[in-house]
Amino acid sequence: MFDVNKIKEDFPIFENYKKKWGRYLSYLDSAASSQTPRQVVLAMDDYYFNYRSNVHRSPYKLGIEATEAYESARATVAKFIGAKKGEIIFTSGATMGANMLVAMLEDYLKIKQGAEILASVAEHHSNLVPFQELALRTNAAFRVIPLSGTDIDYEKAEKLIGPKTKIVTISLASNVLGTIYEVKRVIKFAKKVGAITIVDASKAAGHISINVRDLGCDFLFFSGHKMLGPTGIGVLYGREELLTRLYPGFFGGGIVSSVTVEKTSYLDIPMRFEPGTPNVAGAIGLARAMEYIESLDIGAVTKHSQELVRYAIEKLSRIPGLKIVSEKDEKRNIGIVSFTIDGIHSHDVAEILDRGGVSIRGGHHCAMPLMKYLGVSDVCRTSFYVYNDKEDIDRLAEGIEKAKSVFGL
């Protein structure tokens, strides 16, 4: 049984919030950043308090222990997504991962006028803007895959992907609609024409099981802070055969094998893609977050979130003037329910809910093209995770009714 009350004991913020503000916290904004269990914080504290040092070239005991912990974290991440250890690059987050790919693929693919880069209209800005800028800089065409309802329009995607397509980038799950896309179908279309495939797994990692071999993608990236890990750490996965052919997109110390005033030679993968001092504590914390999720069973985590989606849709659908815009089939939803309320801006809804200890997010959620597609400027977004239960959704519904009364609705 998924024991939410027991799980909450691992997250001190809930008790601390109650002591500070005198009310219960219903945190429904994990799609922006999740909370972090004490096990993750303690693992990072252990590094800072007991073997804090730089990694890889330190010959003393602290440096050796730090290096072992850092590389062990890499192995944990690789196992978590079904990759090889050498295919895992630590980044500062998903946004960094996308920008690294742009920097590396521009030269590798010789992108120029006549080439095409594709992304879906529902992409988070971090998986859209970098590739849009790449197209603008190289005079390539940036094309957008439309939706059909809350899902990708797969027929149109297949038609759009053609011999000129160089890159196809798509999210595994929408950060607004919650839809779990059939990315394997899109990847299959792209493979037929030899295009590079990139998957943004930021909303999916830690919420559903991910296996990069099964997906068949060339690259995949995500952040740690949306899956119980710390901020400032992320992962970029790349197929070994591709990574070995790529030139670093960023430069500095830590990635070189030889430097002269004439030229520089670089280390093997993945080291050649991690210049400077890495976020050692962040990597350790991320690995511990993955171990924590695995201890709960990722399948149970997915099922729990989907049960909350079903309950939330049932509960919120009864509220007059509230329109749900996210995926309504809980089996195809990552754990997000987004909605609008007639006559109230999402920011006002979020502010009024906060007075009762309910934390949600309002706005465009870094998805302005999607907002235009939906015909709105903003939506209220609730997102669920391991520490949420039906009582949180009951408080959400009560808070929405209060917001409506404030506005005389």
Per-residue pLDDT of the chain (409 residues; tens, 9 = 90+): 689 999 999 999 999 999 999 999 999 999 999 999 999 999 999 999 999 999 998 889 999 999 999 999 999 999 999 999 999 999 999 999 999 999 999 999 999 999 999 999 999 999 999 999 999 999 999 999 999 999 999 999 999 999 999 999 999 999 999 999 999 999 999 999 999 999 999 999 999 999 999 999 999 999 999 999 999 999 999 999 999 999 999 999 999 999 999 999 999 999 999 999 999 999 999 999 999 999 999 999 999 999 999 999 999 999 999 999 999 999 999 999 999 999 999 999 999 999 999 999 999 999 999 999 999 999 999 999 999 999 999 999 999 999 999 998 8
Q: Report d(CA 217, CA 215) in Å as an integer.
A: 6
Which pLDDT value is given to residue 409? 82
Stretch (H or E) spanning 165: strand 165-171
Backbone angles phi, psi at 166, to 5 degrees: -105, -35
- The pTM for the full model equals 0.96
Query: What pLDDT shows up at residue 89?
Result: 98
First to last CA, the chain: 40
Q: For residues 296 and 2, what is the distance between their CA atoms, to the nearest angstrom? A: 8
- In this prediction, residue 1 carries a pLDDT of 66
The separation between CA 284 and the C-alpha centre of its own chain, rounded to angstroms, equals: 18
CA 227 from chain centre, in angstroms, equals 8
DSSP conformation letters of 291-319: HHHHHH-HHHHHHHHHHHHHHHHHHHTTS
Residues of 301-331 as b/e, b for ≥16 C-beta within 10 angstroms? bbebbbbbbebbbebbeeeeebebbbbbebe
pLDDT at site 57: 82
**Helix, strand, coil share (%) of the chain residues, nearest 5:** 45, 20, 35
CB 105 within 8 A of CB 111: yes
CATH T-level topology, domain 4-30+297-406: Aspartate Aminotransferase, domain 1 (3.90.1150)
CA distance 409 to 407: 6
Q: Show me where the domains of the chain are located.
A: 4-30+297-406, 41-294
- Rounded to a whole number of angstroms, the CA Rg of the chain reads 22
Among 368, 54, 31, which Cα is nearest to 222's? Answer: 31
Catalytic residues, which ones?
366
Pairing relation of β-strands 116-120 and 141-145?
A: parallel
Cβ atoms of 107 and 157 within 8 Å: the answer is no
Q: Are 58 and 46 in contact (CB under 8 A)?
A: no
Distance, in Å, from the CA atom of 338 to the CA atom of 346, rounded to the nearest integer, reads 10
- Tokens representing 332 are 């195809």
Under DSSP, is residue 184 helix (H, G, I), strand (E, B) or coil?
Answer: helix
Query: Which pLDDT does position 58 carry in this prediction?
Result: 83
What class has domain 41-294?
A: alpha beta
